[in-house]
């Protein structure tokens, strides 16, 4: 008796969960226009042509962050400058350290009887290892700074290309609650075209 009642409840809720109607848009949208968030209707070609990926790439290559401003992604500009300036600061730190320890190494080489350097207390072998390590770290961070610059250029270019994918009003991807008689209650990713 208990199993039949549970099966009946599952069947009733299963049909009830799938019997939802979607709201229909009262205003007809033609295939060559799109409704923006503010309710304004715009031609698709005119909407997509506002952002030229080549211009975004060019602006971002000339001045870091300018491509993000062109794409109207103003919130990305502090991250671009923060990343690049942070990397430059680390490169400067290691460059200054390499210059300082190189000067101490030359002092040890020119005065071999002194033993350890009077300024730092390091021996010649220790200073050679420190100079090599700081030079290697400086070079790594110079490469990472170049990657950060290239990354912001690519971000501006790709973001301008992806502007046209926001224009299909019928495309929806949502996380919604689901029910299945076999799995029970859960969440699911729903695609609507």
Summarize pLDDT for 46-63 with one digit per residue, the tens.
666 677 889 999 999 999
Does the pLDDT at position 166 exceed 60? no
DSSP 104: H
Angle between helices 124-161 and 53-62 (to 10 degrees): 150
Does the pLDDT at position 138 exceed 50? yes
Does the pLDDT at position 190 exceed 50? yes
Provide the 10 A C-beta neighbour count for residue 128: 16
Angle between helices 77-110 and 124-161 (to 10 degrees): 160
Residue 122: pLDDT band by 50, 70, 90 thresholds?
confident
CA–CA dist 84, 184 (Å, integer): 50
Q: Which of 47-56, 74-83, 87-96 has the lowest mean pLDDT?
A: 47-56
The kind and range of the H/E element at 144 are helix 124-161
CA–CA dist 61, 71 (Å, integer): 14
- Does the pTM surpass 0.85? The reply is no
Q: What is the pLDDT of residue 157?
A: 93
What is the rounded average pLDDT of the residues 132-157?
A: 96
Q: What is the pLDDT of residue 120?
A: 77
CA terminus-to-terminus distance, the chain: 43
Which residue did the predictor score with more confidence, 107 or 167? 107
Query: Percentage of the chain surpassing pLDDT 90?
Result: 42
Phi–psi pair at 118, nearest 5 degrees: -70, -25
Highest mean pLDDT among 71-75, 105-109, 122-126: 71-75
Q: What is the pLDDT of residue 37?
A: 66
Q: What is the pLDDT of residue 16?
A: 47
DSSP 183: T
């Amino acid at each position: 008796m208990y199993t039949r009642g549970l099966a009946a409840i599952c069947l009733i809720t299963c049909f009830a969960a799938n019997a939802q109607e979607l709201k229909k848009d009262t205003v007809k949208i033609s295939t060559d226009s799109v409704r923006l968030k503010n309710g304004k209707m715009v031609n698709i070609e005119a909407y997509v042509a506002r952002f030229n990926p080549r211009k975004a790439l060019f602006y971002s290559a000339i001045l870091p962050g300018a491509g993000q401003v062109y794409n109207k992604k103003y919130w990305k500009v502090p991250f671009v400058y923060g990343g690049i300036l942070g990397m430059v600061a680390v490169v400067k730190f290691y460059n200054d350290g390499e210059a300082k320890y190189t000067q101490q190494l030359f002092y040890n080489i020119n005065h071999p009887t002194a033993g350890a350097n009077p300024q730092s207390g390091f021996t010649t072998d220790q200073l050679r290892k420190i100079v090599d390590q700081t030079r290697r770290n400086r070079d790594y961070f110079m490469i990472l700074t170049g990657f950060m610059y290239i990354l912001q250029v690519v971000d501006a270019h790709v973001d301008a290309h992806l502007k046209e994918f926001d224009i299909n009003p019928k495309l929806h991807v949502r996380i919604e609650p689901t029910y299945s008689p076999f799995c029970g209650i859960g969440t699911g990713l729903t695609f609507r075209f």
